[in-house]
Amino acid sequence: MSPKVSAEYKERKRQEILHSAMEVFQRKGFEPTTMKDIKEEAGISFGALYSYFSSTEEMFIELLQKSSQLDTLTQHDSATTSSWKRLEDYLLVQDEMLKTIKSSLIPAAYEFFMTSWRETGRLSILKDRYKEAGDQIKAMLADGIKNGEFQPTVPLDSLAKLIVSTLEGLNVSVLFIGYTESGAKEQLVTLIKMLKQLLHVKE
- ∠ CA 157-160-162, rounded to 5°: 105
Q: How many residues does the chain have?
A: 203
Sign of CA dihedral 15, 20, 21, 23: positive
Exposed, middle or buried, 12 (CB in 10 Å: 0-12/13-18/19+)? exposed
Question: Model's pTM, two decimal places?
Answer: 0.83
Distance between CA 132 and CA 124 in Å, rounded?
12
- Catalogue all structural domains in the chain, each as residue range(s) with its CATH number: 7-59 (1.10.10.60), 72-199 (1.10.357.10)
Distance between CA 112 and CA 108 in Å, rounded?
6
Query: 134-169, pLDDT tens digit by residue?
Result: 999 999 999 999 999 999 999 999 999 999 999 999
The DSSP secondary-structure symbol of 102 reads: G
Distance between CA 92 and CA 95 in Å, rounded?
5
Query: 6-28, pLDDT tens digit by residue?
Result: 889 999 999 999 999 999 999 99
Neighbours of 118 (CB within 10 A): 8
Query: 111-139, pLDDT tens digit by residue?
Result: 999 876 777 888 888 899 999 999 999 99
CB of 72 closer than 8 Å to CB of 93: no
